[in-house]
């Protein structure tokens, strides 16, 4: 498999999951602004939508969308520890969180907070929405280490998106449990390795 990624982008979640399960894969960085890959390919020829994550499977198939890719990677591990067995409450809970993160966090941050020309009123609306989501997560994480008890692909995704507060200089110190959670996830060897590979840490 080959993961097309941009450093620190939502593709980091899939990168973390691949490392968590010990998958055999390679990575290829994409410059999203220039739409070129590190080997000089026009990214649009690989991904007409022009976004990461994109996972090239061993038969050459290209697949996108962070939440489904996370489910796919978690299922590659026979134990399915990162998602839960089919038909279990844990699996439903993990998939529920993936949907929540994709629609209520990921697509709230992106594109609105990333673009300098987003209107101030829109920016404030997004920040207010995120505040209520962060408050909810902060309350939940007062009593548990991870979103569904044990670490799952939902945590890889949540960590990746919440970590954007550091790029955007958004304060999260008021959400102390959420801050501890981000640090807890960041300490996992898979996360350290993925972030090092992406050049986010030394
Ligand atoms: N629907 C896609 C969206 C992925 C997405 O927004 N990727 C961003 C990085 S986090 C990107 O590549 N943006 C560049 C672009 O859209 O041109 C998903 O959920 O995976």
In a domain, 202, yes or no: no
| 184 plus 113 within the same structural domain | yes
Does the pLDDT value for residue 12 go beyond 90? Answer: yes
Residue-wise pLDDT for 20-60, tens only, equals: 999 999 999 999 999 999 999 999 999 999 999 999 999 99
Distance CA 44, CA 35 (A): 7
The pLDDT, as a whole number, for residue 25 is 98
| 98 plus 182 within the same structural domain | yes
The CATH number given to whatever domain includes residue 12 is: 3.40.30.10
The pLDDT, as a whole number, for residue 5 is 98
| 30 plus 59 within the same structural domain | yes
The pLDDT, as a whole number, for residue 110 is 87
From 6, 30, 52, 162, give the residue whose CB has the most ligand 1 atoms within 8 Å, as the site to mutate: 52
Distance CA 157, CA 36 (A): 24
Domain count, the chain: 2
Q: How far is the CA of 154 from the centre of ligand 1 (A)?
A: 17
Taking a C-beta distance cutoff of 8 angstroms, is the pair 53, 64 a contact? yes
Q: What residue numbers bound the domain in which 70 lies?
A: 2-80+190-197
| 53 plus 110 within the same structural domain | no
Q: Is the pTM of this model over 0.85?
A: yes
In a domain, 25, yes or no: yes
| CA-CA-CA-CA torsion sign (189, 194, 195, 201) | positive
Does the pLDDT value for residue 95 go beyond 90? Answer: yes
In a domain, 128, yes or no: yes
Taking a C-beta distance cutoff of 8 angstroms, is the pair 91, 41 a contact? no
| 113 plus 66 within the same structural domain | no
The pLDDT, as a whole number, for residue 116 is 87
In a domain, 68, yes or no: yes
Residue-wise pLDDT for 137-177, tens only, equals: 999 999 999 999 999 999 999 999 999 998 887 888 889 99
Task: Looking at the CA of residue 52, tell me the nearest atom of ligand 1.
Answer: 12
Write out residues with Cβ below 6 Å of ligand 1.
6, 9-10, 32, 50-53, 64-66, 102, 110
Q: How far is the CA of 135 from the centre of ligand 1 (A)?
A: 25
The pLDDT, as a whole number, for residue 92 is 98
Backbone angles phi, psi at 151, to 5 degrees: -55, 135
- Average pLDDT of the residues in 125-138: 94
Q: How far is the CA of 143 from the centre of ligand 1 (A)?
A: 32
């Amino acid at each position: 498999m080959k993961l097309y990624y941009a450093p620190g982008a939502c593709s980091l979640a899939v990168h973390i999951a691949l490392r968590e399960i010990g998958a055999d894969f390679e990575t290829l960085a994409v410059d999203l602004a220039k739409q070129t890959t590190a080997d000089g390919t026009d990214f649009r020829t690989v991904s007409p939508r022009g976004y990461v994550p994109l996972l090239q499977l061993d038969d050459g198939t290209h697949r996108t969308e962070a939440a489904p890719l996370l489910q796919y990677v978690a299922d590659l591990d026979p134990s399915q520890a990162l998602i839960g067995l089919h038909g279990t409450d844990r699996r439903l809970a993990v998939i529920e969180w993936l949907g929540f993160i994709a629609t209520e966090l990921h697509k709230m941050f992106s594109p609105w907070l990333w673009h300098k020309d987003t209107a101030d009123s829109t920016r404030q609306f997004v920040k207010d929405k995120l505040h209520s989501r962060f408050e909810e997560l902060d309350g939940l994480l007062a009593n548990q280490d991870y979103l569904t008890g044990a670490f799952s692909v939902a945590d890889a995704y949540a960590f990746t998106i919440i970590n954007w507060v550091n790029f955007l200089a958004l304060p999260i110190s008021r959400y102390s449990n959420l801050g501890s959670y981000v640090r807890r996830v960041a300490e996992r060897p898979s996360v350290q390795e993925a972030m090092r590979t992406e050049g986010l840490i030394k």
